[in-house]
């Protein structure tokens, strides 16, 4: 696993057998902008654990200000993106739902589409998609 992928992992998911914690610490000591970006990423995870929308808004505002003053161009650009999507991000506190299940279904559909490459029976494809949907909800209900 490359250093890049280690940076994307949550600290609790670092592999002890692969010595990932030590490798991550070494990389962060060598590169200050990298360390800043990594710790800002970890700090941003706290957004979702704020008690209410107002606290989340304050937290996000502070995070954006720190990112913009970091001097790291890509972090500043990401902060601008978060600021532009602030309303949608904070809407989670009004309706705390995830698009994870929908994204999972979309991935299954894409996989079926690749597997069926060259077939022209669109009606059968629609039935297969409905089959995914029914099977998923049969397990839930």
Structural domain that includes position 10: 3-93
**What per-residue confidence (pLDDT) applies to 16?**
85
Same structural domain, 13 and 76: yes
Sign of CA dihedral 105, 11, 82, 4: negative
Pair 83, 117 in one domain: no
Query: pLDDT higher for 96 or 141?
Result: 96
Please state the rounded mean pLDDT for residues 5-27. 83
The pLDDT assigned to 135 comes to: 63
Q: Which one of 78, 93, 108 terminates a domain? A: 93
Looking at the structure of the chain, the number of domains it has is 2
């Amino acid at each position: 696993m490359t250093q890049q992928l280690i940076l994307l992992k949550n600290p609790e998911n670092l592999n002890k057998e692969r010595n990932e914690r030590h490798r991550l610490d070494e990389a962060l000591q060598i590169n200050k902008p990298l360390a800043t970006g990594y710790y800002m990423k970890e700090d941003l995870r706290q957004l979702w654990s704020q008690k209410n929308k107002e606290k989340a808004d304050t937290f996000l505002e502070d995070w954006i200000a720190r990112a913009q003053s970091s001097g790291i161009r890509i972090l500043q650009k990401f902060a601008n993106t978060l600021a532009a999507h602030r309303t949608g991000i904070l809407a989670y506190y009004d309706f705390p739902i995830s698009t994870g299940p929908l994204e999972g279904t979309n991935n299954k559909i894409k996989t079926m589409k690749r597997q069926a490459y060259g077939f022209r029976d669109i009606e059968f494809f629609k039935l297969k998609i409905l089959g995914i949907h029914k099977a998923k909800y049969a397990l839930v209900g």
